[in-house]
Amino acid sequence: MTAEIPAPTTVSAPSARPQPTLVVRTIAIDDLPDGPAALIDLLPDARPLSWVRRGEGIVGWGEALRLETYGPGRFADAEAAWQEALARAVVRDEVHVPGAGPVAFGSFAFDDVVGADGDARPCGVLIVPRVVVGRRGTTTWLTTIDATGSLSHSPGTHLLDPDGRTPVSSPGEVVEHPGALGTEDWAAVVQEATRRIRDGEVDKVVLARDVVTTAERPVDARWLLANLAQNYPSCWTFSVDGLAGATPELLVRSEKGLVTSRVLAGTIRRAAPLPDDGPDPAVFLASSSKDLEEHEYAVRSVADALEPFCSSMNVPDAPFVLHLPNVLHLASDVTGVLGHTVAEENSEGRTPSSLALAAALHPSAAVCGTPTTAAREMIREIEGMDRGRYAGPVGWLGADGDGEWGIALRCAEISHADPRTVRLFAGCGIVAASDSRAELVESEAKLEPVRSALRGIWNHP
């Protein structure tokens, strides 16, 4: 099947190069098998596109159009290029649910600076697939997108034929190597951050680390996705342009004027050692002053960023404890109704798209720190690595602007140059009361989902 898919049209935005006419057709199909990985199991090649949670969402393959953006304008340029593509699209949608019709999967860098190697690589990408399959409740659909402008084809269920799929293979033995910083060096960076926090430079900073793995055979992203979806069904299992993971954190969902953001900050391992006769981990986390302080910063940054766009908002007074197989998080769901505030001031008179909201929210205190500008400068100065797209927005955007964007956490980047090489990431929020050893333990827990997925280990609680 994949050999029959033509090469994509790539456009660097903004660009004077004319974009192709997209012909988009969506039809309803019979319901798919149940299971958290049912959609992922349909993917026919090793360059999948995915946004799936609890067996619902969308997956895609092939590339009808690729929109690459650079620098500080990466979000606005991507939005403009997407609108240009839609203006030339011919759409026949028989389903009319979120995710049907034209969609673009996207991934954006955490920062907008050129990498340490000086390469002017893209800071953002939107990929319009040639085939999309989606499920929402009892509704399932198939979308085909043709970039040639041809009206001669229509979607066919032959695209879902298992005989057309390249088999998924195990990566074999996986060997792990230190990343940009070894564990001792990273712990020293955490100590430096806590010192500077106590000196008043910032209130909170989020520091990340990486490890690099080398597999015996090329890593098929579908192998990672299927294992992550099975192990972490309550997370959003994503894959865009070689970045794959299962994030527990929803940066923003926009649907018919309603917006939601799930904020996570404050973490403890499920099996964390506690004082003798102490509370269970969930109670310990919910009463931890250090974690509650970290969480408060993250919630406030999200609420402040969304407020200009909303006529009303609901910000919870206290977080709940989110239980995942490897860790527990303090979590809050911030919700709002898009209103006639900043939204009516844009030149086109449209309400802000989900991508525009994601741009306004990024980076939140959950992945950067407080105050944001000072925390980002500290990250650039002391973290010691290039995050790339780790902790940046990842998700999808529809023709009406609605969509879902997560934060690229619990993820790994498969090398384009050598698909046996995979880079894993983890980050921790640092405040004045942080302990470098405890933060190292937390980072190890956050690396566990992708480590296990690479090795095919199931971690059902």
Cβ proximity of 366 and 264 under 8 Å: yes
Options 79, 249, 413, 442, the catalytic residue: 249
- For the chain, the C-alpha Rg in angstroms (whole number) is 21
Q: Which of 223, 259, 217, 439 is nearest to 356 (CA)?
A: 259
| Cα–Cα distance measured from residue 434 to residue 92, given in angstroms and rounded to the nearest whole number | 54
How far, in whole angstroms, is CA 442 from its chain's centroid? Answer: 20
Provide the terminal-to-terminal Cα distance of the chain, rounded to the nearest Å.
37
Token digits of residue 149: 């402008």
Options 63, 68, 79, 204, the catalytic residue: 204
Catalytic-residue membership of 204: yes
Angle at Cα 182 formed by Cα 176 and Cα 183, nearest 5°?
A: 95
DSSP summary character for residue 33: P
Dihedral sign from CA coordinates of 326, 272, 209, 372:
positive
Cβ proximity of 237 and 53 under 8 Å: yes
Angle at Cα 379 formed by Cα 377 and Cα 281, nearest 5°?
A: 135
Cβ proximity of 89 and 24 under 8 Å: yes
Secondary structure class of 247 (helix, strand, coil): strand
Cβ proximity of 236 and 262 under 8 Å: no
Catalytic-residue membership of 249: yes
Q: Which residues of 406-430 are buried (b: 16+ CB within 10 A; e: fewer)?
A: bbbbbbbbbeeeebbbbbbbbbbbb
- Known catalytic residues are 204, 249
